[in-house]
Amino acid sequence: MTYAAVTSEVVARLGTLVGEENLSTAQAVLDLHAHDQSFHAPHRGEVVVWPQTGEQVAEVLRLANSLLIPVTPWGVGTSLEGNPIPLHGGILLSLERMKRIIEVHADDFQVTVEPGIGHKDLNAHLARFGLFFAPDPGANASIGGMLANNAAGIRTVRYGASKDNVLQMRVALADGRLIRVGSRSVKQSAGYDLLHLFVGSEGTLGVITEATLKLHAVTEYMGAALAAFQTVADAVQAVVAIRGSGLDPAALEFIDAAHAAMLREAEGVNLTDHPTLFMEFHAAHTDALAMNLAMVQEICADLDAVHFHATTDAAERRKLWHARHASYEISVRQFPGKKLYLGDVSVPISAYPELIGYIEQVREECAVPLYLIGHAGDGNIHVEMPYETDAEYARCADINARIVRKAQDLNGTATGEHGVGLGKAKYMRYEHGEALDVMQAIKQTLDPNNILNPGKIFPHDIG
Ligand SMILES: Cc1cc2nc3c(=O)[nH]c(=O)nc-3n(C[C@H](O)[C@H](O)[C@H](O)COP(=O)(O)OP(=O)(O)OC[C@H]3O[C@@H](n4cnc5c(N)ncnc54)[C@H](O)[C@@H]3O)c2cc1C
The DSSP 8-state label assigned to residue 226 in this structure reads E
CA of 358 to the centre of ligand 1 (A): 29
Fold of 335-417: Alpha-Beta Plaits (3.30.70)
Whether ligand 1 lies within 6 angstroms of the CB of 141 is answered as: yes
Pocket test for ligand 1, best of 38, 78, 96, 447 (most atoms within 8 A of CB): 78
C-beta of 36 in contact with ligand 1 (< 6 A): yes
CA 420 / ligand 1 centre spacing (Å): 11
Burial class (CB in 10 A: 0-12, 13-18, 19+), 338: middle
- Residue 447 identity (one-letter amino acid): D
Residue nearest to atom 21 of ligand 1 (CA): 146
- Cβ of 377 less than 6 Å from ligand 1: no
Dihedral sign, CA of 189, 190, 196, 197?
positive
Supply angle C-alpha 133, 139, 145, rounded to 5.
70
How many angstroms separate the CA atoms of 408 and 401, rounded?
10
Ligand 1: atom nearest CA of 417 is 11
Report how far ligand 1's centroid is from the alpha carbon of 302 (Å): 39
Top mutation candidate among 74, 94, 452 for ligand 1, by most atoms within 8 Å of CB: 74
Cβ of 145 closer than 6 Å to ligand 1, yes or no, is: yes
- Distance of CA 142 from the midpoint of ligand 1 (Å): 7
Per-residue pLDDT of the chain (463 residues; tens, 9 = 90+): 799 999 999 999 999 999 999 999 999 999 999 999 999 999 999 999 999 999 999 999 999 999 999 999 999 999 999 999 999 999 999 999 999 999 999 999 999 999 999 999 999 999 999 999 999 998 899 999 999 999 999 999 999 999 999 999 999 999 999 999 999 999 999 999 999 999 999 999 999 999 999 999 999 999 999 999 999 999 999 999 999 999 999 999 999 999 999 999 999 998 999 999 999 999 999 999 999 999 999 999 999 999 999 999 999 999 999 999 999 989 989 899 999 999 999 999 999 999 999 999 999 999 889 999 999 999 999 999 999 999 999 999 999 999 999 999 999 999 999 999 999 999 999 999 999 999 999 999 999 999 999 999 998 754 3
Whole-model pTM: value is 0.96
Contact 182 CB / ligand 1 (< 6 Å): no
- Name the residue of 32, 56, 71, 149 whose CB sits within 8 Å of the most ligand 1 atoms, as the mutation to test its pocket: 149
3.30.43.10, 3.40.140.10, 3.40.220.10, 1.10.1840.10: which CATH number matches 8-96? 3.30.43.10
DSSP states of 229-274: ESSHHHHHHHHHHHHHTT---SEEEEE-HHHHHHHHHHH-----SS
The CA dihedral of 351, 356, 362, 364, to the nearest 10 degrees, is -140
Q: How many CB atoms lie within 10 A of CB 413?
A: 20
Ligand 1 contacts CB of residue 151 (under 6 A): yes
Given a contact cutoff of 8 angstroms between Cβ atoms, the answer to whether 143 and 207 are in contact is no
Bridge-based pairing state of the strands 207-214 and 216-217: unpaired
**Å from CA of 288 to ligand 1 middle:** 35
CATH of domain 101-217: 3.30.465.10
**CATH architecture of the domain with residue range 221-328:** 2-Layer Sandwich (3.30)
Pocket perturbation via mutation, ligand 1, pick of 38, 76, 80, 322 by most ligand atoms within 8 A of CB: 80
Domain boundaries, the chain: 8-96, 101-217, 221-328, 335-417
Residue with the smallest CA separation from ligand 1 atom 18 is 79
Say yes or no: CB of residue 156 within 6 Å of ligand 1.
no
- Among the listed residues 218, 297, 214, the one whose alpha carbon sits nearest the alpha carbon of residue 250: 218
pLDDT at 461: 56
| Same fold for the pair 8-96 and 101-217 | no
Specify the pLDDT at position 422.
95
d(CA 130, CA 219): 9
**Phi/psi of residue 194, each to 5°?**
-70, -30
For the chain, give me the number of helices (H) and strands (E)? 16, 19
The residue among 282, 258, 252 whose CA lies nearest residue 271 is: 258
Ligand 1 atom nearest residue 142's Cα: 25
